[in-house]
Amino acid sequence: MWTFKQSHVAALRAAAEKFTAETGTKVNIQAVTPDDAFLTKVQAAARTNDLPDVLEVHANGDDLAFGGAGLLEDLSKDVDQKWLAQYLPQVLTDGTVTPDVYKASLTEGSKTQGVQLGQRFSVPLTVGTQGVVYMNKSRAAKAGVTRAPATWEEFIDALDKVTKAYPDNGGVTVGVKQPSTALEWLMQPMAFGMLGKQKFEALFGPDTAQGWSSPNGQKVLNTYNEVTPYWMPGTQSKGIDEADLAFAQGKASFDIGGTYTLAFLAENGYDADNLMTFPVPPPKDAAIPGLQLSPFSLTGLSITRTSDKKDEALRWLKFLSRDDVAADFGKQALDVPPNDLDKKQSEALGPVLNSMEAAFGSGKNSYNAGYTAYRPSLYDPGKVGAVLAQFTPLKSRSAESTGTQMSSMLKSYWAEQNK
C-alpha cells in the first residue's frame, strides 16, 4: 500500500500488525511524499503495471481521476449498506461518481473524464475540513484572549490584541505561496457565513452581475481585507508546510489550516495543549451566524485494477473502516476518522480533535469545502487565489480591481466550459 501522508505511516503500520494477527495477511506500507512525487510515481507505475494493491488517495480528487483513467477498481458492488453504516452521514457518497461529478466529467479537459455514474473508487479513511484557525493559547491568554472568537470581528480583535502584545510574532500565517490556501481556507468560509449558501455560490457563477465585482463580492473582499495588518511578515513567501512550521516555531501566533494541520504541527514539536482551535468565524451580521463546517473525506482508500489480491485488499479496507480500528488510527495519526464513533471512542481522540469535531455540522447552512459543483469544472483555485494574494497580503490591487479580475477569470472558465 502506498500513502502520500507521512503522518499516517506509523498508524497504518500499527493497524497492519493487528490485521496480520487476525487474518495472516501482511501489508507493507510505503510513504511517497510530497503529493506531486506521489502522483508522478503513480503515473510511472501505472505505465509499467507496477502499482501496489492499495492506494491512499485524495478523496473526491485523485480517486475520481485515477478511476476515470481506469487505474482503480469500481468498489460500488463491494461497499454495501452495512459497510457504509459505520461512517458519518456527511461522507457517505464521497469517492463515488455523483450526478454532479459525472456532469463535470463530460466537459472537455475535465480531469475526471471516463467515470461512469454510480461508480465508487474509494472509501473514506480520514475526514475533516478546511477553515480551522490554530491559535497559540498561551500568547492569546497573555494578550487577554481567553476564549475562541465566535465572530469575524472578535477574530480581528484577537489578532489585534495578540499582535500588540507580540509585535514581532503575533500575526497570522497561511501558505500563500500556494495561493489557493488563503482563498479557500480563510476567505471562503467567512464569505459563506456572511452571505449564505445561495449568494456565496453566485460569486462563482456565470452571471458576473452577482460575482466578485457586485456589492456582495466587494463586501466580502473588504471584510477579508481587515486581516491585512496582521499577516506574519513574509507570509506570501511561505508554502503550506513552511507556514505551519513558522507557527510551530513561534514566528506567528495564528495559523490557518484544516483538521489535518494538527498532525503536522505535532510532528514538528508543537505542544498540542498550547493550542486553541476554532472555525473561521463569519461576521456578527452574517446570514449564517454560528457557522459550522461540514466534514468531507480528505483521504480515501482505493484498490488498483491491476491488483491480483483484490479479496485481501478488500478485507484490509473493511478492517480499517471498523470503529475500533478507525479510532486507534485517528488517535495515533492525529487525524479525524470518518466513523460515527460513540462518545467513549470519540473522547479517546483527544481534546484538540474533539474540539474540531465539535465544529462539524451538516445541512445546507454548514460550509462544505468539499462541495464544488457550483464552480466551473475547469476552475483553478490557484490562479484565482493568486489574484486575491495581490489584494492581500501584497496590497498591489484594490478591492475593486481584485473583484473585476476574479469575475473576469470566472467568466473565462465558464466560457471554456460552455464551448
Partner 1 sequence: MTAGIGTATAAGAGKGAGSPSTAERGGGAPRRGPFGALREKRKQAAWGYLFVAPAIALFAVMGVYTIVYGFSLSFAQWNGFWPEWNWRGFRNYTDLLGGSPTYWPIVKKAAVNTLWVVIAVPLLTVLVAFPLALVLNQVKRFQGVLRSVYFVPYVTTGIAVYFAWNYILEPNGAVNLLLKTVGLGSLQQPQGWLGNPDTALATMIVVMVWSAVPVAMLLYLTGLQSLDSSLLEAAQIDGAGWLRSTTTVVWPLMKPITVVVLLLNVRDSLQGFQSFLIMTNGGPGDSTSVLGLETYRLAFLSELSPTLGLASALGWLLFLAALVVAFINQRVMRRMG
**Is 92 an interacting residue with respect to partner 1 (CB under 8 A)?**
no
The answer to whether 302 and 74 have CB atoms below 8 angstroms apart is no
Interior CA angle at 397 toward 392 and 399, to 5°? 80
Query: Nine-digit cell at 43?
Result: 503515473
Identity at 382, one-letter amino acid code: G
**Is 412 an interacting residue with respect to partner 1 (CB under 8 A)?**
yes
Residues 65-84 that bind partner 1 (CB under 8 A): 65-66, 68-71
**Is 250 an interacting residue with respect to partner 1 (CB under 8 A)?**
no
To partner 1, the closest distance from the beta carbon of 414 in angstroms equals 11
User: Of 15-23, 206-214, 233-241, 365-373, which segment contacts partner 1 by CB under 8 A?
Assistant: 233-241
**Is 34 an interacting residue with respect to partner 1 (CB under 8 A)?**
no
User: Of 91-99, 103-111, 216-224, 274-282, which segment contacts partner 1 by CB under 8 A?
Assistant: 103-111
Of 129, 121, 130, 83, give the one whose Cα is nearest residue 326.
83
Q: What is the largest CA-CA distance in the chain?
A: 63
The answer to whether 268 and 245 have CB atoms below 8 angstroms apart is yes
Which residue, 155 or 413, is less far from partner 1 as judged by CB?
413
To partner 1, the closest distance from the beta carbon of 332 in angstroms equals 29
Which residue, 65 or 203, is less far from partner 1 as judged by CB?
65
User: Which of 22, 108, 207, 311 forms a contact with partner 1 (CB under 8 A)?
Assistant: 108
The answer to whether 359 and 134 have CB atoms below 8 angstroms apart is no
To partner 1, the closest distance from the beta carbon of 28 in angstroms equals 24
To partner 1, the closest distance from the beta carbon of 154 in angstroms equals 27
Contact pattern from residue 368 through residue 397 relative to partner 1, giving x for each residue in contact according to CB under 8 A and a dash for the rest: ----------x-x--x--xx-xx--xx-x-
Query: Which residues make Cβ contacts (< 8 Å) with residue 359, sequence separation at least 6?
Result: 129, 132, 277, 278, 279, 292, 293
To partner 1, the closest distance from the beta carbon of 397 in angstroms equals 9
Which residue, 28 or 40, is less far from partner 1 as judged by CB?
40
**Is 61 an interacting residue with respect to partner 1 (CB under 8 A)?**
yes
The 3-state DSSP class for residue 3 equals: strand
**Is 109 an interacting residue with respect to partner 1 (CB under 8 A)?**
yes
User: Which of 154, 160, 165, 239 forms a contact with partner 1 (CB under 8 A)?
Assistant: 239
Identity at 219, one-letter amino acid code: K
**Is 167 an interacting residue with respect to partner 1 (CB under 8 A)?**
no
Q: Exposed, middle or buried: residue 209 (CB in 10 Å: 0-12, 13-18, 19+)?
A: exposed
Which residues pair with residue 416 across a beta bridge?
none
Cα separation of 154 and 263, whole Å? 27
Query: Which residues make Cβ contacts (< 8 Å) with residue 47, sequence separation at least 6?
Result: none
Cα separation of 72 and 63, whole Å? 8
Which residue, 287 or 378, is less far from partner 1 as judged by CB?
378
The answer to whether 155 and 178 have CB atoms below 8 angstroms apart is no
Which residue, 196 or 393, is less far from partner 1 as judged by CB?
393
To partner 1, the closest distance from the beta carbon of 32 in angstroms equals 14
The answer to whether 132 and 277 have CB atoms below 8 angstroms apart is yes
The answer to whether 211 and 376 have CB atoms below 8 angstroms apart is no
Which residue, 341 or 386, is less far from partner 1 as judged by CB?
386
The answer to whether 132 and 261 have CB atoms below 8 angstroms apart is yes
**Is 179 an interacting residue with respect to partner 1 (CB under 8 A)?**
yes
To partner 1, the closest distance from the beta carbon of 173 in angstroms equals 12
Interior CA angle at 235 toward 409 and 293, to 5°? 65
* Residue ranges in contact with partner 1 by CB under 8 A: 36, 39-40, 42-43, 46, 61-62, 65-66, 68-71, 108-109, 111, 113-114, 176-179, 233-237, 239, 378, 380, 383, 386-387, 389-390, 393-394, 396, 408-409, 411-413, 415-416
